[in-house]
Chains A and B, each alone.
Chain A
Amino acid sequence: MSASHIDRRAEVVRLRAERPRSLTVRFSLVFFCALAVFAWVSGEIDAVDFLSKRRRANVERFLEQDVLPYPLRESVRTEGGGGTLELLWSWVAELWTDRGADAFWTTLWISTLAIVLAGVSAVILSAPAARTLMRTEPFARTPARGAGEWPWRICAEAVRFSLVGLRAIPEFVWAFLFLALFGPGAWPAILALAIHNAGILGRLNADTVENLDGGPLRALRSLGASRRQVFGLAILPLALSRFLLYFFYRFETCVREATVLGMLGIVSLGYWIQDARARQRYDEMVLFVVLGALLVLVADVLSQLARAALRRAR
């Protein structure tokens, strides 16, 4: 090995020893590893308990008897066998026309109305919540400092803080509150979902605006455009695809949550899931759960179609 090679090796070692290191990265790495270990070791979670005999028996009975649709169970008992499929079909059809269809569409309407309300307010709120826009000189490369900045900053932080407030309270709790205020019906669910999701979407949209490339926006400001003009005419087109991505993602969540909120007594799919469980009709319960999953699938397909159509539009 040549002398220069050894020198170079030493030089690499020296440079490595002097490399800039981030304390934050190191600290958080150690901290989270420790936290994970602590959670496993100290908690009340007992892995063995999960497999206890009684639980297993419960699960077995559920899977072998309770879940079987009513006509199937009957035909197994009477050994008749004939026309089982037809019976099964008429059982499904009856449940669908009796309660399913109504609850299915109600769930879809609740979530659609809620997400539209949330989406519109979130786009509007994203402007005052975007810290890069809320400056004396928006999107400046090096933000100005001084007393003049304070009103803008306070305003932005206040909006952000209220957005946290909206989403800090779960939709379930919002719905609980509104049920007490307005009585049963679809509106408590719609408002609860709209408010919670406005908090989430408002924050995501505001972050999107903050992360936009400032170049074109600075250019518009430098030719005398107002904040509102910049927001409506440049920021919206720039951020629209991102806004829609979040919008449809939350739409999907809304559909799921609308089902869950039924358990509070709002007549969505969740209401009948709860009802079937109370009457110990697990076969019906499973049918409604499957309907709920189907609804999420529908929401997913809808959002895929909408986004594909937008991508094609030029």
Chain B
Amino acid sequence: MISRRTGARFRLSGAGLVLGGVRVLQGVDLAIEPGEAVALVGPSGAGKTSLLGLLNASRRATEGVVELNGVDLAGLGQRALRRARATVGFVHQDFALVPNVRVAQNVLFGKLGGRGFLQGLRSMVAPREDDLVRAHGILERLGIADKLYQRTDTLSGGEEQRVALGRALFQDPVALLADEPVASVDPARARDLVALMQELAREDGLTLVVSLHDLEIAREFFPRLIGLRGGRVALDRSMGEVREEEFAELYRLGEAEATRAEEPRP
């Protein structure tokens, strides 16, 4: 498949995030170019999920600027915000599928971002044939085309993860984000999935940002590595230049947790 469009460009400058009185991100300056594939690493609590949330516009930065394709996300109204979110596919760590509906339905949910309530209802009761055919095409690329009409909760973990990825692809996104996809399945399946995501992103020209803990996998599939520690960008360079010690340093136990400043509650 030829890439039909260019991927998303993300720009963050001085971006920070305070959640429930706790500072989770601070002074993040990043530029991610269209079509780039980036591995996001760092210990638990370093702010990986929060950073992905900023990129997906599901979280608003408390300070600083987050831009998606040159548009400042902070200034968007409800409607524009929904449209921005619809262009960024997100594979959640726990897949976050609706378990008791069919796979086709979960994939079709991907297009809710661009549709009104009634259109959404229609896609549930009497889905358009074109949508179903497209969903089938996506599932075929993911290797689970025959599961189209199965109930989602009858699938295995690895299959469910692919459905979640299918839902993100059905959005017709310009960027694909995945939160620790490796942590949810066994190592063999994990490698397979990351390879698949990388291949899909390359074919469709999507910007790919994946958070993970595994340096091996990061090395193999991603040209660039961003390391977070204590809510700050501690490492940002091309994969070839990353040394083992630097990676280990990111995960070192110690004051990083303690330096996360607690802000006074309102």
Q: Are A12 and B129 closer than 8 Å at their CB atoms?
A: yes
**B202 interface residue per 8 A CB criterion:** no
Which of B132, B136, B149 has the most chain A CB atoms inside 10 A of its CB? B149
**A148 interface residue per 8 A CB criterion:** no
Determine the residue in chain A with the shortest Cβ distance to B135: A12
Partner of B132, one of A5, A12, A18: A12
**B133 interface residue per 8 A CB criterion:** yes
**B151 interface residue per 8 A CB criterion:** yes
Q: Are A20 and B145 closer than 8 Å at their CB atoms?
A: no
B102 neighbours in A (Cβ, 8 Å): 19
Q: Are B149 and A8 closer than 8 Å at their CB atoms?
A: no
B150 neighbours in A (Cβ, 8 Å): 19-20
Q: Are A12 and B151 closer than 8 Å at their CB atoms?
A: no
CA distance in complex: A15, B107 (Å): 15
Q: Are A20 and B151 closer than 8 Å at their CB atoms?
A: yes
CA distance in complex: A20, B133 (Å): 19
Partner of A16, one of B137, B145, B149: B149
CA distance in complex: A15, B148 (Å): 7
Determine the residue in chain A with the shortest Cβ distance to B132: A12
CA distance in complex: A11, B132 (Å): 11
- Rounded to whole Å, the gap between the CB of B124 and the closest CB of chain A is 15
**B255 interface residue per 8 A CB criterion:** no
**B244 interface residue per 8 A CB criterion:** no
**A9 interface residue per 8 A CB criterion:** yes
Q: A15-B146, A19-B102 are in contact. Are A8 and B136 (CB under 8 A)?
A: yes
B129 neighbours in A (Cβ, 8 Å): 9, 12
- Rounded to whole Å, the gap between the CB of B104 and the closest CB of chain A is 9
A16 neighbours in B (Cβ, 8 Å): 132, 148-149
Which of A8, A15, A20 has the most chain B CB atoms inside 10 A of its CB? A15
Interface residues on chain A, size class? 10 to 19
CA distance in complex: A54, B103 (Å): 60
Q: Are B151 and A9 closer than 8 Å at their CB atoms?
A: no
Q: Are A15 and B149 closer than 8 Å at their CB atoms?
A: yes
B145 neighbours in A (Cβ, 8 Å): 11
- Rounded to whole Å, the gap between the CB of A142 and the closest CB of chain B is 17
Q: What sequence of 0s and 1s flags, for each residue 143-159 of chain B, a beta carbon within 8 Å of any chain A beta carbon?
A: 00110111100000000
- Rounded to whole Å, the gap between the CB of B89 and the closest CB of chain A is 22
Q: What sequence of 0s and 1s flags, for each residue 7-37 of chain A, a beta carbon within 8 Å of any chain B beta carbon?
A: 0110110011011100000000000000000
- Rounded to whole Å, the gap between the CB of B202 and the closest CB of chain A is 22
B132 neighbours in A (Cβ, 8 Å): 12, 16
Determine the residue in chain B with the shortest Cβ distance to A6: B133
- Rounded to whole Å, the gap between the CB of B163 and the closest CB of chain A is 15
Determine the residue in chain A with the shortest Cβ distance to B102: A19
Q: What sequence of 0s and 1s flags, for each residue 103-124 of chain B, a beta carbon within 8 Å of any chain A beta carbon?
A: 0000000000000000000000
Partner of A19, one of B133, B136, B137, B149: B149
Q: Are A5 and B148 closer than 8 Å at their CB atoms?
A: no
Determine the residue in chain A with the shortest Cβ distance to B145: A11
CA distance in complex: A160, B132 (Å): 46
A12 neighbours in B (Cβ, 8 Å): 129, 132-133, 136, 148
CA distance in complex: A5, B133 (Å): 8
A11 neighbours in B (Cβ, 8 Å): 136, 145
- Rounded to whole Å, the gap between the CB of B129 and the closest CB of chain A is 7
CA distance in complex: A8, B146 (Å): 12
CA distance in complex: A244, B50 (Å): 34
Q: Are B149 and A20 closer than 8 Å at their CB atoms?
A: yes
CA distance in complex: A19, B137 (Å): 18
Determine the residue in chain B with the shortest Cβ distance to A19: B149
- Rounded to whole Å, the gap between the CB of B58 and the closest CB of chain A is 25
CA distance in complex: A15, B136 (Å): 10
B151 neighbours in A (Cβ, 8 Å): 20
CA distance in complex: A184, B10 (Å): 77
CA distance in complex: A20, B154 (Å): 11
CA distance in complex: A12, B127 (Å): 12
CA distance in complex: A18, B129 (Å): 17
A19 neighbours in B (Cβ, 8 Å): 102, 149-150
Q: Are A8 and B148 closer than 8 Å at their CB atoms?
A: no
- Rounded to whole Å, the gap between the CB of B261 and the closest CB of chain A is 21
CA distance in complex: A12, B135 (Å): 10
A9 neighbours in B (Cβ, 8 Å): 129, 133
CA distance in complex: A15, B132 (Å): 11
Q: What sequence of 0s and 1s flags, for each residue 206-242 of chain B, a beta carbon within 8 Å of any chain A beta carbon?
A: 0000000000000000000000000000000000000
- Rounded to whole Å, the gap between the CB of B35 and the closest CB of chain A is 27
B136 neighbours in A (Cβ, 8 Å): 8, 11-12, 15
7 closest A-B pairs by beta carbon, nearest first, are A19-B149, A15-B148, A12-B132, A12-B136, A15-B149, A8-B133, A9-B133
Residues of B near any A CB (own CB < 8 A): 102, 129, 132-133, 136-137, 145-146, 148-151
Q: Can you name 9 extra interface pairs (CB under 8 A) apart from A8-B136, A9-B133, A20-B150?
A: A5-B133, A8-B133, A12-B136, A12-B148, A15-B136, A15-B148, A16-B148, A16-B149, A19-B150
12 pairs from A and B in contact (CB 8 Å cutoff): A5-B133, A8-B136, A8-B137, A9-B133, A11-B136, A15-B146, A15-B149, A16-B132, A16-B148, A16-B149, A18-B149, A19-B102
